A = this chain, B = another copy of it.
Amino acid sequence: MTESTVTESRQIPDVPALFADRDWDALRDILEEMADPDVAGLLSTLDRQDWSVLLNLLSAERAASVYSYLTTEQQTALLDDLTDDEKAQIMEELAYDDATALLDVLPDEHAELLMDMLPFEAQRMLERLLAYPEDSAGRLMTPDCVSLRPDWSMREALAHVRRQAEHRETINVLFVTDDGGKLLGWMRLQDLLLAPPKAVVSQFVDSDVISIEAEADQEEVARMIRHYDLEVVPVVDPDGVLKGIITVDDVMDVMEQETTEDFHKIGAVSVLPLGLGEATAALLYRKRIGWLMILVLVNLLSGAAIALFETAIEQVVALVFFLPLVIACGGNAGAQASTLMVRALATGDVRLRDWLGLWGKELVVAFGLGVTMGLAVWGAGVWLGGAQVGLAVAIAMVLVVITGSMIGVLLPFALVRVSLDPATSSVPLITCIVDVAGILVYFSIATLILHVSPI
């Protein structure tokens, strides 16, 4: 994807200048016209001392909404600047799912102070939500949803929806429960609207309701919503009692976050808790040094493998010229295979049980790739090192590309098999493993063809 142009394409007036002029009326008019995510974007362009001023120009409800779109760093910074009253107002207006997300990332003493500002009932609810495991459906859900009883008439149901609608995240989908709160089914708001007023809810309810348990991982929520094209999924406890709902917009953020994690892993970077723009150099160092040091160990094996062929190198130095070429090509083919597998496993396009067919297909592809590349480098080998070096390079290329591809296709499946994330099979890891294998294959072929003693 290329750079975002969404916010840039909308004309933004010179807000910093208006701040300098203390022209509050003009600012209020401008903010009135802007969408909440854009106001959050605008805040980033202001000096920090103006952040709380900006929020105070908004109604409490909008301030809370804008606040929920800010980065964690901005949210924490603002807590230092706002008065206790302002903080309490924002907390009260925050949707439950935004509030749990905030309390989750704050240092404990900050979180406790904020909790204390809330009414007792809200505190109880937030504590219950925070008790769910991290990254679970329970943490992602909001408990605000409208539930109907099966024996209500449409008129009663509509009246209930009207009373409840104000503070609900969505009423597009309505859930039907029994008196104990057990989820029985769902109906769309439009069905309620189109049904005759005297009909009964149970006549229109769809009992094939897709729900998810509160303890389930957020990835499963994302997969369910995408698979079934849902706009909202109900969250239930083990007894099937409706606990809350998760809407598709919350899940889009989860999807993006999970994809970013996979993306970073394929480049051998550990999971970053912050965006790249927010991350400090120290954090980036910590998230990168681990894999780099593991890869150093694998690379030392490459050195050991080369040392095995010291005598051969002394006899024909030209062999070394082609070493980076041959091993890099094996790594490149392996990187392609691994990337394809990791992504296909993540999207569910292929499953663990498909490994044998994919391995067979990869063998065919790798053979074709290896022969093409072998032919391409054969000429260069003959030219720089003579006929025998050319032959050695060409044959080694075919074998190394096949070896690399096999490692690239099988490692992700092997990782899934032992319950590890296939994305751990990163391109740098594949490249380094293939380096070792490639060195052994290349020098073995070369010593055979050139009749030099390996050691």
Contacts and interface: CB of A to CB of B under 8 A. Distances in A.
Contact of A324 (B4, B35, B302, B351): B302
Interface stretch (A72-80, A148-156, A221-229): A221-229
A25 interface: no
Copies per complex of this chain: 2
A380 B422 CA distance: 31
A125 interface: no
A435 interface: yes
B3 A352 contact: yes
B296 A336 contact: no
Contact of A427 (B34, B225, B428): B428
A419 B3 CA distance: 10
Contacts of A52: none
B324 A313 contact: no
Interface in A342-388: 342-352, 354, 358, 361, 364-365, 368-369, 372-373, 376-377, 380, 384
A281 interface: yes
A4 B351 CA distance: 8
Given A1-B346, A300-B325, A293 B262 contact: no
A336 B269 contact: yes
A104 interface: no
A158 B193 contact: yes
Contact of A295 (B293, B329, B341): B329
A273 interface: no
B2 A285 contact: no
A369 B208 CA distance: 54
Contact of A255 (B219, B224, B255, B351): B255
Contacts of A199: none
B210 A231 contact: no
A131 interface: no
B335 A267 contact: yes
Contacts of A310: 317
A245 interface: no
Given A266-B339, A267-B336, A281-B365, 11 more contacts: A3-B416, A165-B193, A230-B249, A231-B248, A259-B259, A262-B263, A295-B329, A303-B380, A306-B323, A427-B427, A427-B431
